[in-house]
Amino acid sequence: MSEHTPASDPLVDGPHDPEHDPRASYALEPDYVAGLTRRILSTTGRTVPVESPLGGQPLAHIPQSSTDDVAEAYVRARRAQAAWARTSLDERAAMLLRLHDLVLDRQDEIIDLVVLESGKARKHAFDEPLHIALTARYYGRTAHQHLDTERKLGVVPGLTRVEVNRVPKGVVGIISPWNYPFTMALCDGIPALLAGNAVVAKPDAQTMLSALLGAQLLEEAGFPPDLWQVVAGPGRELGTPIIDGADYICFTGSTATGRLIAAQCAERLIGCSLELGGKNPLLVLRDADLEKAAEGAVRASFSNAGQLCVSMERMFVADQVYDRFVERFVARTEAMTLGASLEWGVDMGSLVSQAQLDTVQAHVDDAVAKGARVLAGGRARPDLGPYFFEPTILEGVTPDMTCFGTETFGPVISLYRFHDEADAVARANAGEYGLNASIYTQDGARGREIARQVKCGTVNINEAFGATFASIDSPMGGMRESGMGRRQGSEGIHRYTESQSVATQRLIRFAPMLGMSDERYAKVMTAQLRMMKKLGRA
């Protein structure tokens, strides 16, 4: 993408010969795009053109923000947050429940925009409004559970009253990725708003429109307009200003960038949550239902063309069932339908960009050159669209191959045999990532026992990733170099609050009284401590 300085209206100007140039007309109505892009805080006069990965059709020119625009976004957000923090929790929760309905009512519009911007299949784009509706409903229904003042044990029973308040941090900076542009733009901000914070968001440049539609729906649900600020521009230019202005940072992206963000947050002594890379393992045990495992393996490996943080790139299959499983897995993979379409009925869509295609192609070429065998796929498909690559299964991948330990983030899975389950777990834990894992077995108890040995933040038994990701009451995040902090559940909202302890003392003080000496006071307190232990008090 290159910058564009408009001579007239950047939202309307474009190629001028639609009769001979299939990319000459915009995929979206300019007025619709303008209604979304005006939400970006931008005073630069600069725009960046974006095209659909489905076929290169122009989508929009995205206004670009400056560092001064980021500073202004924080000024507006802080002003809005001061009033928002005084809004009752019931009112905030009611807005989330309205958002739930809006997202479901407008899902076709959301899905169309996601498909056009990301190139994914429609069935995978549906996961985005689904996840946001689940998230909005969960936090709307559990607001008091997470945020009400809690009573705690006081040091002196009956005389010390202790309460813990959940105080909003202030303004949260959210830097979201392109792979799930609607979900990732909103899901981390929903609990931040409920907790009383404002948000300054910088969505990825490739998928701004989906994120902007999310901001529009928040306003339609009743959230104050200035509470959710959106800026646009390269991370290398806006990343530091966003961190410098925030009270907390939420980032989803690469481990390399996450390290830099963590270091900058540490300098300012502010918190951050980081969902980073993964090289996720799937284990097929000897007692697995092979049809169920093969079906799940297809979704685990090729949903959103493998551009999913929790998708699988390493599969360990028990010797006893390896050949039978591989036969089923390859057959299901080869039966997948690929296509550039807004319609249902496509199993896998496009990669998002040339950069992603280049990475996938390089990983497969390197593996094949060093002796790996291609069991399915292995080729780019320019006949379908500029960034299509076939769902690919590799066998015989060794540690000297790039795809062995480096995240591909594309539709490529490597198969490995194992005989001993302890060895399979050790190999699954190899490397420094630890985001998601999947285990297929007909013995649920055995699967859960093995899950405790796997160093991943989420583990799914007899499911690819949906069971944990869609269960909003449970935390989701990575171990080791796959990140820090958690989204979803109580951890997903408490990260945006400061816990404040308030203690009210009655009758006695924590010092000698009525002429008691310090020594006598120490003996009395010691006796009380011993008595409390005998009474079983914590």
Residues with a catalytic annotation lie at: 275, 309
Question: Which of the 8 DSSP states describes residue 510?
Answer: S
What is the rounded CA–CA span in Å between residue 196 and residue 170? 8
What is the rounded CA–CA span in Å between residue 175 and residue 240? 11
**How is the beta sheet containing 248-252 ordered, strand by strand?**
228-230, 198-202, 171-175, 248-252, 271-275, 483-484
Q: DSSP letter string over 380-434?
A: B-TTT-TT-B--EEEES--TTSHHHHS---SSEEEEEEES-HHHHHHHHT-SS--
The first and second tokens of residue 517, run together, are: 């000496």
Give CA angle at 495 (489, 497), nearest 5°: 115
CB of 291 within 8 A of CB of 258?
A: no
CA 261 to each of CA 77, 244, 460: distance values in angstroms, whole numbers, following the listed order: 21, 11, 29
Long-range own/partner contacts, residues 392-395 (CB < 8 A, 24 or more apart): 392/360, 392/364, 393/301, 393/329, 393/330, 393/333, 394/364, 394/367, 395/326
CB of 143 within 8 A of CB of 92?
A: yes
113-138 exposure pattern, b = at least 16 Cβ within 10 A, e = fewer: bbbbbbbbbbbbbbbbbbbbbbbbbb
CB of 214 within 8 A of CB of 184?
A: no
What is the rounded CA–CA span in Å between residue 465 and residue 375? 24
The first and second tokens of residue 445, run together, are: 């108890």
List Cβ neighbours of 96 (8 Å cut-off, separation of 6 or more).
136, 137, 139, 140, 143, 190, 193, 194, 221
Which of 451, 460, 456 minimizes the C-alpha distance to 481? 456
Q: How many CB atoms lie within 10 A of CB 368?
A: 15
Question: Which of the 8 DSSP states describes residue 259?
Answer: H
Q: How many CB atoms lie within 10 A of CB 434?
A: 24
What is the rounded CA–CA span in Å between residue 90 and residue 305? 40
What is the rounded CA–CA span in Å between residue 474 and residue 73? 32
Give CA angle at 176 (175, 178), nearest 5°: 140
